[in-house]
């Protein structure tokens, strides 16, 4: 088969376009690993020793869910939760051995969106309805969400919930100062960007502090003098993060 | 051609159906002037409210320094979309100049500082009927008139 | 040419009416129930099982759509003349399958009215974006190719030269649509059941088994109800393709089971345990999976023995078994199992709701309707042409 100049140029053009697409897709896949220079990097530290003192405590969940109009639905299959407690053996699978203290297996452990540095949910969202800000917050834009639930599929931690039904059919949520979400979109812990913008800590942290427990600490982990940085760097306690082997670099640190 | 009667009859029926929106509205007595009246009533009501700061009681000439009414009618959706993307996606909550008071601070209404927000901004003053209420308020009148209900209200509840 | 779809026997019209009943029911349920109330009341989906029956159909049907390449490739690249008259049928099957795929995505979205956001705000790192692009692209390629080649055939001339590169493009594109669909699943660290390099090859093998099987059945139906005969050699060749593809598919499944079972890693093992034996009391897929394996075994026995494969009755049975087995295995068996157990250790039980099933049936009916209309037109045009050619040779 004769290759004319035109055929060659056409083939070359397609190769460049194809290679460019592949390269940009791959480059896109790694660009979020470079964290924002300067600027704060928000992180959360959970002190499990303090948290376990009151096993039935749910103040963080109540504060968050009531302020953010997270509905309490009848059907558990459609449950929406932003922050809640799950058994330790499920939060850290494989970390509980046969001869460990049996109480450790079921120890209620606070879980929420980890606001990963390398979030798989952001990578798979087809519309960029969920995206990572330079300060580390993984934002959920419910206006753009098409409800495909790929982010739920991609999250290794089960942090996200989908609105299978209308969450507030009577349009009467508890907190009229904060919008609700509509059915058909995904929602999750937002790390309270409206509170961060006002220089305050998220509602869950505030509720835990007010109750005198202080198990949740929030702050800028890039700041060498912040409380979270000191806890993570020099507290001397064992630190766990959820499923670190997946490379998501979660920003919720658990102190054992 | 024996079909002439059928064709004419068909044309008449078609024209009747095609113009139906117009004569149905006339027949049911729609009040065409209501939207303008409600806007004027709203402005009058706001001007009399003792809790409103001076900035919002300005005259039409003074208000022309900011965003005039007609532009707001035309642009409010575009403005809201701009604010939405800036606040939610860019995290930019800085209040635009025309939304600030004379000293550059957020306008405070009945103790609430107005934010760059629909529920926490526009809706603090401009009323909208709540679910269960039957009387159309400010936002509803125009929207009912044009039969266009934006789905913003599915999430953004009226404060 | 299209007017051929408007004239037919009473049997033709009753078949269309039968399909229309299910189409209306499915569309009605979607528009008046699912769009009004959301996915909660109309599907069995739940917080821990975000994808279910609808996405299972999408996954299966993308395979069927991709399988058109199994007919196009031998004919256009290797001059295998026996497939010449089958290509158009394969392409029409692809178009119907792709339409069904897109409809399944539409009914699965929480906010279908925002569906165009995928193209308005593209995210090139998301495989769902690329899946939409390649599926739409393959749809248009097949539509153009089928239209042009068939029009040329009807006019009795060779197709124009510019269609050839598009046909050649459809070959790697077909492979790509199913690879990208596999990439939806196999790049997710949080779902260890899917996190396997062999997922894309598995998808392709099962596609090339189930698609040509369906094509065989369609050829036999066409031969029975119209005057068009695709040719015994073409059907025989298709059955050989199905045989090798099914062998490869079963081999891949065994590879997956071995890797999970031998390594014993709980994260991988638990999903297979759920599939074949039940996990922590939840075992709703177990009878389906064993049925699927049994059907695969029956199909392979028939297909591997030439004397059985060449008999039409056995071939039909094998084709049905292949399609059913793969539909279970690649559909619910693959999609739902990825979620059971969930990342937080819960073991959800998912069964499709009545509405979900009826909307699915409605979409399949739409695909069947499209296929019926396409094949009616195609076979009648061909019948006309052969009569015309007969008349010319007689004259």
Q: How far apart are CA A21 and CA B14, in angstroms?
A: 53
Give the pLDDT score at A35. 43
Residue B91 to residue A176, Cβ atoms within 8 A: no
With 0-12 / 13-18 / 19 or more C-beta atoms within 10 angstroms meaning exposed / middle / buried, residue C376 is buried
Which residues contact residue B66 at a Cβ distance below 8 angstroms, ignoring those fewer than 6 apart?
A: B98
How far, CA to CA in Å, does A37 sit from each of A103, A134, A136, A198, A222?
43, 8, 11, 22, 10
User: Which chain B residue has the Cα nearest residue A70?
Assistant: B155
Classify residue A11 by burial, with Cβ atoms within 10 Å: 0-12, 13-18, 19+: exposed
> Going by C-beta distance under 8 Å and a sequence separation of 6 or more, which residues neighbour residue B57?
B46, B47
Question: At B140, is the pLDDT very low, low, confident or very high (cuts 50, 70, 90)?
Answer: confident
Q: Which of A87, A123, A166 sits opposite C126 (nearest CB)?
A: A123
Query: Is residue C341 reached through a cis peptide bond, with omega within 30 degrees of 0 on the bond before it?
Result: yes
| 0.90 exceeded by pTM | no
Verify whether the Cβ–Cβ distance C110 to A185 is below 8 Å: yes
C46, C47, C268, C269, best to mutate vs chain A, most A CBs in 10 Å? C47
The answer to whether A253 and A44 are in contact (CB under 8 A) is yes
Q: How confident is the model at residue B62 (pLDDT cuts 50, 70, 90)?
A: low
Q: Which residues partner with A252 through β-bridges?
A: A44
pLDDT value, residue A149? 96
Q: How far is CA C73 from the centre of its chain?
A: 18
Question: What dihedral do alpha carbons C119, C125, C126, C130 form, nearest 10°?
Answer: 60
DSSP SS3 for B131: coil
> Can you tell me the distance from the alpha carbon of C38 to that of A183, in angstroms, rounded to the nearest whole number?
7
Chain B nearest C-alpha distance from A45 (Å) = 23
Q: Which of C75, C18, C2, C62 is nearest to C238 (CA)?
A: C75
Give how far the C-alpha of residue C159 lies from the chain's centroid of Cα atoms, to the nearest Å: 28
From the list B88, B153, B157, the residue facing A176 with the nearest CB is B157
Question: Regarding predicted confidence, which is higher, C2 or A32?
Answer: C2
Whether A195 and A202 have beta carbons less than 8 Å apart is answered as yes
Radius of gyration of chain B (CA): 22
Q: CB B91 to CB A173 under 8 A?
A: no
- Cβ contact A207:A63 at 8 Å: yes
Q: Report how far Cα B20 is from the mean position of its chain's Cα atoms.
A: 27
Question: In whole angstroms, what is the distance from residue A155 CA to residue A158 CA?
Answer: 6
* A128: Cα within 13 Å, side-chain hemisphere: 14
The predicted pLDDT at position B24 comes to: 86
Cβ A142–B130 below 8 Å, yes or no? no
Q: Is the pLDDT of residue B156 over 50?
A: yes
Closest CA–CA distance from residue A88 to any residue of chain C (Å): 10
* Contact criterion met (CB below 8 Å) for C202 and C249: yes
Question: Measured at the alpha carbon of residue C332, what is the angle toward residues C253 and C288, in degrees to the nearest 5?
Answer: 75
Q: What pLDDT does residue B133 have?
A: 72
DSSP state of C348: -
Q: pLDDT tens across A103-116, in order?
A: 888 889 999 999 99
What is the C-alpha end-to-end distance of chain C, expressed in Å?
Answer: 26
- Kindly indicate the confidence band of residue A32, based on its pLDDT and cuts at 50, 70 and 90: very low
Q: Which two tokens stand for residue B155?
A: 């999430």
- Report, as an integer, the average pLDDT of B126-131: 70
Q: What is the pLDDT of residue A27?
A: 44
Smallest CA-to-CA distance from A71 within A206, A205, A162, A207 is with A162
Q: pLDDT confidence of B61, banded at 50, 70, 90?
A: low
Structure tokens at B126: 């401009």
Of B93, B118, B131, the CB nearest to A170: B131
Residue A31 is predicted with a pLDDT of 36
Which of A141, A173, A176 is the closest to B89 by Cβ? A141
- Mean residue pLDDT of chain A comes to 88
Element (H, E) at A253: strand A252-255
Interface test with C, best of A4, A33, A77 (most C CBs within 10 A): A77
Whether the CB of B93 is below 8 Å from some CB of chain A: the reply is yes
Q: How distant is the Cα of C218 from the closest Cα of chain A, in angstroms?
A: 33
A85: which DSSP letter? E
Cβ–Cβ gap B155/A176 under 8 Å: no
pLDDT block averages, 10 residues each, chain C of length 395: 84 95 96 92 94 96 92 90 88 95 95 92 93 94 91 88 93 94 94 95 95 95 89 93 96 95 92 94 94 96 94 95 96 94 93 95 97 92 81 75
- Answer whether residue A30 shows pLDDT above 50: no
Q: In degrees to the nearest 10, what's the CA dihedral of A57, A61, A66, A70?
A: -140
CB-based contact C372:C65 (threshold 8 Å): no
Whether residue B64 is predicted with pLDDT greater than 70 in this model: the reply is no
Which pLDDT tens digit goes with each residue over A95-148?
888 888 888 888 899 999 999 999 999 999 999 999 999 999 999 999 999 999
Q: Are strands B108-109 and A252-255 parallel, antiparallel or unpaired?
A: unpaired
Least Cα distance to C207 among C375, C59, C52 occurs for C59
Q: Which residue has the tokens 């003098």?
A: A225
* B129 touches A at CB < 8 Å: no
pLDDT of residue B148: 80
**Four-residue CA torsion sign, A119, A123, A124, A129:** positive
Name the residue facing A182 among B89, B93, B154 (closest C-beta). B154
More confident position, B20 or B66: B20
B157 touches chain A (CB under 8 A): yes
Q: Is residue C203 within 8 Å of residue C178, measured between CB atoms?
A: yes
Closest CA relative to residue A50, chosen from A174, A215, A162: A215
Nearest CA to CA, how far is C321 from chain A (Å)? 31
Task: Give dist(CA C105, CA C54) in Å, integer.
Answer: 7
Average pLDDT, chain B: 76
Residue B40 in this model has a pLDDT that exceeds 80: no
Higher pLDDT, A17 or C101: C101
Q: What residues of chain C lie within 8 A of the CB of A153, using their CB? A: 50-51, 188, 191, 338
pLDDT at A209 exceeding the cut of 80? yes
In this complex, the chains that touch C, judged by 3 or more CB pairs closer than 8 A, are: A
Task: Determine the pLDDT at residue C238.
Answer: 94
Helix (H, G, I), strand (E, B) or coil at A109: strand
Q: Is the per-residue pLDDT at A14 higher than 90?
A: no
Q: Measure in Å the smallest separation between the Cα of A90 and chain C Cα atoms.
A: 5
| DSSP-assigned letter for residue C108 | H
Provide the ipTM: 0.91
Q: How many helices (H) and strands (E) does chain C have?
A: 17, 0
Return the bridge partners of A47, or none.
A255
> Do A128 and C121 make contact, defined as CB atoms within 8 angstroms?
yes
Beta bridge pairs of residue C251: none
Q: Is A161 strand, coil or helix?
A: strand
């Amino acid at each position: 088969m004769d290759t004319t100049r035109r055929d060659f140029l056409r083939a070359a053009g397609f190769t460049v376009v194809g290679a460019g697409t592949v390269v940009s897709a791959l480059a896109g896949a790694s660009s979020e690993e470079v964290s924002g220079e300067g600027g704060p990097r928000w992180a959360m530290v959970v002190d499990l020793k303090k948290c376990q003192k009151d096993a039935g405590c749910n103040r963080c969940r109540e504060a968050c869910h009531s302020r953010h109009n997270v509905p309490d639905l009848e059907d558990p299959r459609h449950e929406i939760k932003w922050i809640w407690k799950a058994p330790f053996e499920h939060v850290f699978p494989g970390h509980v051995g046969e001869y460990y203290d049996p109480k450790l297996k079921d120890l209620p452990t606070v879980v929420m969106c980890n606001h990963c540095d390398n979030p798989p949910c952001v990578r798979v969202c087809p519309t960029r309805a969920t995206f990572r800000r330079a300060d580390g917050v993984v934002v959920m834009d419910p206006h753009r969400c098409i409800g495909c639930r790929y982010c739920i599929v991609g999250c290794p931690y089960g942090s996200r919930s989908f609105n299978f039904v209308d969450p507030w059919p009577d349009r009467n949520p508890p907190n009229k100062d904060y919008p609700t979400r509509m059915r058909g979109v995904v929602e999750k812990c937002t790390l309270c960007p409206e509170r961060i913008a006002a220089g305050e800590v998220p509602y869950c942290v505030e509720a835990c502090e007010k109750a005198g427990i202080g198990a949740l600490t929030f702050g800028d982990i890039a700041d060498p003098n912040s409380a979270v940085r000191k806890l993570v760097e020099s507290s001397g306690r064992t630190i766990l993060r959820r499923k670190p082997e997946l490379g998501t670099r979660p920003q919720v640190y658990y102190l054992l | 051609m024996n079909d002439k009667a059928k064709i004419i009859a068909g044309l008449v029926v078609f024209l009747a159906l095609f113009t139906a929106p117009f004569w149905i509205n006339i027949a049911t007595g729609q009040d065409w002037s209501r939207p303008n009246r409600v806007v004027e009533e709203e402005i009058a009501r706001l001007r009399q409210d003792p809790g409103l700061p001076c900035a919002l009681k300005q005259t039409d000439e003074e208000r022309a320094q900011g965003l005039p009414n007609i532009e707001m009618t035309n642009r409010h959706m575009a403005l809201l979309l701009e604010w939405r993307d800036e606040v939610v996606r860019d995290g930019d909550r800085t209040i635009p100049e025309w939304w600030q008071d004379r000293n550059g601070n957020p306008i405070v209404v009945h103790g609430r500082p107005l934010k760059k927000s629909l529920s926490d901004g526009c809706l603090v003053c401009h009323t909208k009927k709540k679910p269960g209420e039957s009387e159309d308020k400010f936002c509803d009148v125009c929207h009912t008139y044009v039969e266009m209900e934006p789905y913003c209200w599915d999430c953004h509840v009226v404060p | 040419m299209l007017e051929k779809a408007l004239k037919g026997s009473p049997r033709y019209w009753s078949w269309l009416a039968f399909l229309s009943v299910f189409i209306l029911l499915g569309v009605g349920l979607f528009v008046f129930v699912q769009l009004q109330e959301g996915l909660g009341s109309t599907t069995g989906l739940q917080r821990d099982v975000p994808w279910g029956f609808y996405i299972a159909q999408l996954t299966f049907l993308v395979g069927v759509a991709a399988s058109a390449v199994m007919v196009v490739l031998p004919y256009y690249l290797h001059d295998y003349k026996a497939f010449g008259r089958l290509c158009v049928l394969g392409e029409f099957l692809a178009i119907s399958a792709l339409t069904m795929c897109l409809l399944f995505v539409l009914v699965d979205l929480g906010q279908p009215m925002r569906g165009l956001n995928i193209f308005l705000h593209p995210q090139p790192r998301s495989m769902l974006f690329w899946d939409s692009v390649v599926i739409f692209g393959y749809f248009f390629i097949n539509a153009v190719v089928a239209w042009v080649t068939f029009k040329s055939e009807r006019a009795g001339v060779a197709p124009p030269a510019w269609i050839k590169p598009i046909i050649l493009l459809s070959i790697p594109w077909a492979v790509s649509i199913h690879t990208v669909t596999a990439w939806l699943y196999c790049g997710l660290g949080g779902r260890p059941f899917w996190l396997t390099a062999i997922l894309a090859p598995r998808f392709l093998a099962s596609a090339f088994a189930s698609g040509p099987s369906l094509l065989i059945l369609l050829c036999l139906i066409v031969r029975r109800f119209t005057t068009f005969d695709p040719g015994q050699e073409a059907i025989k060749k298709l059955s050989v393709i199905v045989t090798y593809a099914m062998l490869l598919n079963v081999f891949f499944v065994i590879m997956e089971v071995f890797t999970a079972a031998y390594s014993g890693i709980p994260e991988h093992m638990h999903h297979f345990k759920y599939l074949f034996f039940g996990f922590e009391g939840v075992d709703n897929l177990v009878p389906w999976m064993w049925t699927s394996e049994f059907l695969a075994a029956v199909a392979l026995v028939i297909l591997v023995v030439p004397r059985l494969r060449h008999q039409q009755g056995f071939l039909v049975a094998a084709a049905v078994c292949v399609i059913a087995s793969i539909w279970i295995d690649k559909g619910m068996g693959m999609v739902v199992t990825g979620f059971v157990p969930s990342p937080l250790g819960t073991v959800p039980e998912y069964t499709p709701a009545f509405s979900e099933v009826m909307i699915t049936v409605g979409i399949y009916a739409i695909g069947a309707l499209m296929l019926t209309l396409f094949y009616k037109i195609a076979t009648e045009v061909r019948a006309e042409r052969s009569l015309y050619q007969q008349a010319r040779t007689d004259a």
